A and B are shown apart, each in its own frame.
Chain A
Amino acid sequence: MIKSSDLDPNFKYEISNEPGGENIKKCFNCTGCTVGCPVTEIDKSYNPRIILRKALLGMRKEVLADDSLWLCASCYICYERCPQDVKITEVIGAIRAIAQREAKAGKIKITNDKSLFDHLFIDSVKSNGKWYEAGVSGMFMLKTKGIGGAIGYAPMVLELFKKGKLSIMPHKIKGTKEIKRIFEEVEKK
């Protein structure tokens, strides 16, 4: 049972003020996003229409803390097919941004590992200008699977290394100061 007193009517505005979330209010819940979704095909509990409907109703905490927010594979099928041009893939990105801020403030807990991987990835780009594949993947494995789990990937890592496909050290670009300035500019909301 949804209690209207628990709803946050401002949530849809919060999302539409986030870059990528602008078009959420255009959604008329036709389900076109969900019928074509490849993730829904393998997991019926993943339902982008329900995420959008809950967001529009103002079920803020439920949407932000839901693991399924992190299951979108960013394949853009729903984005392409949406008759209302909601740009769903980017709306999901906008909701993820809000969820991450809430998690940082200690108000919710994100259980899905996608957020951790994204942050390790972006941190490596911030310091090197390029993504540090061996370092980021290794750190992610250690944090999510422990040493035992990470060691399981050793044969593949060795093969990639032998083929000259994996660099042990990060590649650093010359313009890391410019990268830092881009981060600073976009952080000023």
Chain B
Amino acid sequence: MKLAYYPGCTLHGTAREYDASTKAVCRAAGVDLVEIDDWNCCGALEAIFDKELSMGLSARNNFKAQKTGLDLVIPCSICSHNLSRADTAMKNDEAFRTKIERALGEKYNGVKIKHLLDVIVNDIGTDAISRKFTKSLKGIKAVAYYGCLLVRPSEVSKFDNPENPMPLDNLIKSTGADCLPFTQKTKCCGGNLLMSKQDYAFLLTKKLFDEAKAAGANCVVVACPMCHMLLDGQQTTIEKAHNTVIDMPVLYFTQLIGLAMGISEKELELDKNMVPTSKLIDSIGKGETKAEVKGATTEGAKAEEAEAAE
């Protein structure tokens, strides 16, 4: 499989471990990523007051992707939302298309855009990717955090159930890790208020951790650099502001499945996460073989343990 790749600004900055782990996992899964040439910022959620500007900035990247003749994959939920929305508007809104085609001096035909998680669980398939796993992640007790734009609005994201999605839960389970029920899985982390209304952003993120802890999780798994910025990057600041201890590693889903694929911690840049990940890595059960991973439902694992005890 060969795909055009749009990393977006954060993956070349604060979310560099998402970029590194995306590339490592795709390489191991046989997906060839071709980064699009001279891409620009999609406007994030900072251009929401100017819908045409937001879509215009995004559309330039779609033109660049179109040139590759490949489908486009995007790991960031905000970028993926913006570029998908721009593609729809370029196809359906003639006045807008005319403006942007005039600005860029090219004709637009359209490009197929998908979030990286969508590609992994649906195009490659959770079963197929789990056949590449060589190491059980039993010992990790995760909650799957989808956040907002990966699933909403569903008319743009076209990815699973917008209220109670399951694909990331199932992907986590396929590594042999536990994935616990989490009613906050599509609640907002407040990322867009981080700069302007930090106390609100922190309250929203803290609510996620409160439930993750109550569920017995030892890590949160995410698929968006903005969510990661709040949950991982701001975690110690939230602890200080609320005089509490959270101490919960937050992994990109690519870092998690990369570990199951046997990719090194260095290549997955687990040292770049702000909350240390070493304790979590140590909690992964040692000495398990691939045969055990295959029967990796929790019950299957329990039955095996019982047999071993006898």
Q: Which residues of A contact B (CB under 8 A)?
A: 19-20, 38-39, 42-43, 70-71, 73-77, 79-80, 89-90, 92-94, 96-97, 100, 112-118, 121-122, 125, 129-131, 133, 137, 140, 156, 159-160, 163-167, 171, 173-175, 178-179, 181-186, 188
Contacts and interface: CB of A to CB of B under 8 A. Distances in A.
Given A93-B50, A137-B195, A184-B103, 9 more contacts: A42-B200, A71-B197, A73-B188, A75-B152, A80-B153, A89-B48, A116-B196, A140-B195, A175-B38
B84 to A, nearest CB: 13
A185 B56 contact: yes
B49 A117 contact: no
B13 A165 contact: yes
A-B interface, 7 closest residue pairs, ranked by CB to CB distance from nearest: A75-B188, A114-B196, A121-B46, A19-B51, A181-B103, A76-B152, A96-B49
A97 B49 contact: yes
Which of B16, B50, B200 has the largest count of A CB atoms less than 10 A from its CB? B50
Q: How large is the interface on B (under 10, 10 to 19, 20 to 34, 35 or more residues)?
A: 35 or more
A164 B13 CA distance: 8
Which of B16, B41, B59, B274 has the largest count of A CB atoms less than 10 A from its CB? B41
Interface in B55-91: 56-57, 59-60
A43 B195 contact: no
Given A75-B188, A76-B149, A113-B196, A179 B14 contact: no
Which of B40, B44, B99, B162 has the largest count of A CB atoms less than 10 A from its CB? B40
Contacts of A188: 99
A160 B56 contact: no
Which of A93, A118, A137, A175 has the largest count of B CB atoms less than 10 A from its CB? A118
Contact of B148 (A75, A114, A175, A185): A75
Interface string B180-200: 000000111011110111001
B281 interface: no
